Chain A
């Protein structure tokens, strides 16, 4: 970094003399030989390994002699490693990035521009993903997949509480929750009709959006926090009311271990991704295999009368600007995200990267409600340069915890959060 050009050679010469005495078996991760290095998040390894395999097979046919080395990264630690690696000279050729992470890397020049016309269905890419990839009219990454949150409920509990079926409107949802609370909640003081931990900001912000509020707005090229606007406050107030009425667990928690908690059997309804319903019955995720088949999903209605706008969290694929095989990288991404590959993703219960195929997700399947919610609307975190800083300094969870625990009024907590957002959201 600092000594890049001046003092480092000396240290290096010394170091090399030592390394030579040992066994310097270091090898570059890209550039050397015919190798393409791809960083994917672990989701691909866990949920659609067949897609990775088929893409690599197709790629091998098109580019014989180029080996593809797919390395899987954990979401929690990926970017720390990426930062170090991008500063060095051997970078991966393809990197998976969450759609709330891309903006900061793009404005800081980490990724190469891509020609969207090279990619299948680029005309119908989901805005939530495509907007995350665009900056100043250029495209820097390719949409990969998306997820949308829905309501998940225990079918057996609904039957026991005498609720006929999944709620279609907000009042129906409230009456279902009341019934759950009245029957199961009466037997077990630890039963929550609705699981809504206090730091679950993806959920709380959905209520803000539903009320017409925003996390932050752009004003003359600069971003500023908008959580203390009257509409946002109204959304937060309704969210707090739900916690008070239907949630009995610890309010200082987040949704990190949601499937595991739900698997304990003390939750009637929760707001989450479709796969969390599966995870709650899967021991790999801390779930209980005995609960298989007892969860069903529904499009979560919002107080406004429309569907509660879900956060559209998803992934994109980018090519680092330092990659020496940008063309091959783009080819690989192209195969990994084309129509045929997206079909494989849909089969693995994931939502595709484009509106055309979103319509092909079976409405009756477990992912149908999510597809419906994603198609009718949804929201993204602000595409501001400093958004990742806002996220990582935990402004939203801390505000929500203060509200949920009654440490501060909604108005005060929101104003404090806006102040902290304003501090970092415009920083690169």
Chain B
């Protein structure tokens, strides 16, 4: 593949990044703009006099750090649990034939087809009955059922992409099934796990309809609800909203970078050793 790399491809890639990234640029740009420049006409593509007012205002919210903490707990909790639980199920689906397998596949698929909005009230009532409304655990459990089917579905595809022969060779070499999985399958799964975990995190991080209904204490609410509060009845504080959104998006980007580096390098080393 290396031979086909060329300046043309690089330029094309940069053009693509520019087009796709424009709305992101606009968000960050707006975050640094004083309010009255935000709707200016003709539009300006460069900050005239960048200001940190919007960030100061966004960070000045009383519950901001509590909300960040709550988001982090919910986000990481959801990602970790759904990855562990989901990988197990995905492995079973990709590698075993068992009675009820088809039914399980169909259920996993159907579950993802149900519109979330139709489930808001029933889910609330269920959690209400077991006293888990306004509880972070309740939210994680709820998010889990929305990220799990996806995780299973995704990872199943990636496990299926790992040639069974590799795994069997490892088992012949004396690794147990678990050893073979850890040394052979897991390293090859790394990119899939990265993509899946980012997906699960983004879901949990940005969801605001369910979590708003499920949580009531201001300090437990997540940053996504905090973001909605920039749309006041007086009009939308676009500068504050965009500054808030920039702050909110940062952890996800950092998470991706960390996960990519850690998993990619760590597991690749493991693969060489195995």
Using a CB–CB cutoff of 8 Å, the interface residues on chain A facing chain B are: 1, 8, 11-12, 15-16, 18-19, 22-29, 37, 41-43, 46, 71-72, 74-77, 80-81, 83-85, 87-90, 190, 256-261, 263-264, 275-276, 279, 282-290
20 A–B pairs (Cβ distance < 8 Å), ordered by A: A8-B126, A8-B129, A19-B137, A24-B132, A25-B136, A27-B134, A29-B134, A29-B216, A42-B233, A75-B233, A76-B228, A77-B228, A81-B213, A85-B124, A258-B235, A259-B235, A264-B40, A282-B234, A283-B34, A285-B234
Complex: how many Å from CA A285 to CA B38?
12
* Chain A residues near B239 (CB-CB < 8 A): 283, 286
Residues B235 and A285 in contact, CB atoms below 8 Å apart:
yes
Contacts known (A71-B216, A77-B212, A284-B237); A89 close to B128, Cβ less than 8 A:
yes
**A283-B239 Cα distance, complex, nearest whole Å:** 8
Query: Does B103 lie at the interface of the complex (its beta carbon under 8 Å from any beta carbon of A)?
Result: no
Contact A279 B234 (CB under 8 A): yes
Q: Which residues of A contact B100 (CB under 8 A)?
A: none
5 more A-B residue pairs beyond the given contacts A74-B229, A84-B213, A285-B236, with a C-beta to C-beta distance below 8 A: A12-B130, A15-B126, A257-B235, A260-B236, A289-B36
- Contact partner, B213, options A23, A80, A279, Cβ 8 Å: A80
For the complex, what is the distance from the CA of A84 to the CA of B228, rounded to whole Å? 19
Do the beta carbons of A90 and B232 come within 8 Å of each other?
no
Verify B125–A275 contact, CB threshold 8 A. no
Q: How far, in whole Å, are A303 and B233 apart by their CA atoms in the complex?
A: 30
A88 → B minimal CB distance (Å):
4
Cβ contacts under 8 Å, B137 to chain A:
19, 22-26
Which residue of the partner chain B has the closest CB to A39? Answer: B216
Within 8 A of A (CB), among B21-72: 34-36, 38-41, 53, 57
Contact partner, A1, options B34, B40, B121, B141, Cβ 8 Å: B121
Q: Are A257 and B236 closer than 8 Å at their CB atoms?
A: yes
Q: Of all chain B residues, which has the CB nearest A92?
A: B216
- Report yes or no: A288 in contact with B120, Cβ–Cβ below 8 A: no
CB neighbours of B120 from chain A (8 A) = 80, 84
A321, B136: Cα distance in complex, Å = 28
Q: Are A88 and B229 in contact (CB under 8 A)?
A: no
Residue of A nearest to B124 (CB): A84
> CB distance B125 to A88 under 8 Å?
yes
Beta-carbon contact of B229 and A83 below 8 Å:
no
Cβ–Cβ contact B34 & A26, under 8 A: no
Note all chain B residues with C-beta closer than 8 A to A284.
57, 232, 234, 237, 240
**Measured CA separation A289–B237 after assembly (Å):** 13
Chain B contacts of A24 at CB under 8 A? Answer: 130-132, 135, 137-138
Residues in A whose Cβ lies below 8 Å from that of B130: 12, 15-16, 19, 24, 26
Q: How far is the CB of A95 from chain B (nearest CB, A)?
A: 13
**How distant is B76 from chain A, measured CB to nearest CB, in Å?**
15
Q: How far is the CA of A341 from the CA of B261 in the complex (A)?
A: 59
| C-alpha spacing A290/B232, complex, angstroms | 21
B238 interface residue per 8 A CB criterion: yes
Which label, helix, strand, loop or mixed, suits the secondary structure of the B interface?
helix
Question: Which of A26, A275, A276 contacts B133 (CB under 8 A)?
Answer: A26
Contacts of B122 in A (CB 8 A): 1
Contact of A26 among B39, B125, B135 (CB under 8 A): B135
Main SS at interface, chain A: helix
Instruction: Write out the residue numbers on chain A whose beta carbons fall within 8 Å of the beta carbon of B41.
Output: 190, 264
- Interface residues contributed by chain B, number (CB under 8 Å): 46
Q: Among A26, A72, A89, A290, which residue has its beta carbon within 8 angstroms of that of B138?
A: A26
Is the beta-carbon distance between A12 and B129 smaller than 8 angstroms? yes
A26 and B131 in contact (CB under 8 A), knowing A260-B235, A282-B234, A283-B237? yes
Alpha-carbon separation in the docked complex, A284 to B229 (Å): 11
Do A260 and B39 have beta carbons less than 8 Å apart? yes
Cβ–Cβ contact B232 & A42, under 8 A = yes
In the complex the two chains form, is A286's CB within 8 Å of B133's CB?
A: no
* Chain B residues with CB below 8 A from A29, complex form: 133-134, 216
CB neighbours of A257 from chain B (8 A): 235-236
Check: B218 CB closer than 8 A to any chain A CB.
yes
User: Does B112 make an interface contact (CB < 8 A)?
Assistant: no
Output the least CB separation between B133 and chain A (Å). 6
Contact of A285 with B125 at beta-carbon distance under 8 Å, contacts A24-B137, A26-B135, A263-B36 already known: no
Tell me if B35 and A263 are in contact (CB < 8 A): yes
> A87 and B125: CB pair below 8 A?
yes
User: How far does the alpha carbon of A41 sit from the alpha carbon of B233 in the complex, in Å?
Assistant: 9
**B126 contacts across to A, CB distance below 8 A:** 8, 11-12, 15
> Nearest B residue to A78 by beta-carbon distance?
B212
- Say if the beta carbon of B265 comes within 8 Å of chain A: no
B203-261 residues at the A interface, CB under 8 angstroms: 209, 212-213, 216-218, 228-229, 231-240
Contact B39 A264 (CB under 8 A): yes
9 closest A-B pairs (Cβ-Cβ)? A288-B36, A88-B128, A285-B234, A26-B131, A285-B235, A283-B35, A84-B124, A26-B135, A26-B132
Would you call B129 and A285 a contact (CB within 8 A)?
no
Q: Which residues of B contact A16 (CB under 8 A)?
A: 130
Best-buried of A22, A83, A290 by chain B (most CB within 10 Å): A22
Looking at the assembled complex, report how far the CB atom of A267 sits from the nearest CB atom of chain B, in whole angstroms.
12
The chain A residue sitting closest to B40, CB to CB, is: A264
Q: Give bound CA distance, A264 to B124, whole Å.
A: 43
Chain B residue numbers with a CB within 8 Å of A1 are 121-122, 125
Contact yes or no, B124 A290, CB < 8 A:
no
Taking CB atoms, residues of chain B closer than 8 Å to A259 are 234-235
Q: Is there contact, CB below 8 Å, between B234 and A74? A: no
In angstroms, Cα B39 to Cα A164, docked, is 31
Q: Are A286 and B237 in contact (CB under 8 A)?
A: yes
Min distance, Cβ A65 to any Cβ of chain B, angstroms? 21
B234 touches A275 (CB 8 A): yes
Asked if A84 contacts B36 (CB within 8 A), the reply is: no
CA distance A80 to B217 in the complex (A): 17
- Binary interface encoding of chain B residues 137-150 relative to chain A, with 1 for a CB under 8 A from any of its CBs, else 0: 11001000000000
Q: How far is the CB of A274 from chain B (nearest CB, A)?
A: 12
> Given that A1-B122, A285-B234 are known contacts, is A90 also in contact with B35, CB under 8 Å in the complex?
no
Closest CB in chain A relative to B116 CB, distance in Å: 12
Q: Would A283 and B53 count as touching, CB distance under 8 A?
A: yes
**Distance between B180 CB and nearest chain A CB, rounded to angstroms:** 31
Q: Chain B: which residue is nearest A280 at the CB level?
A: B235
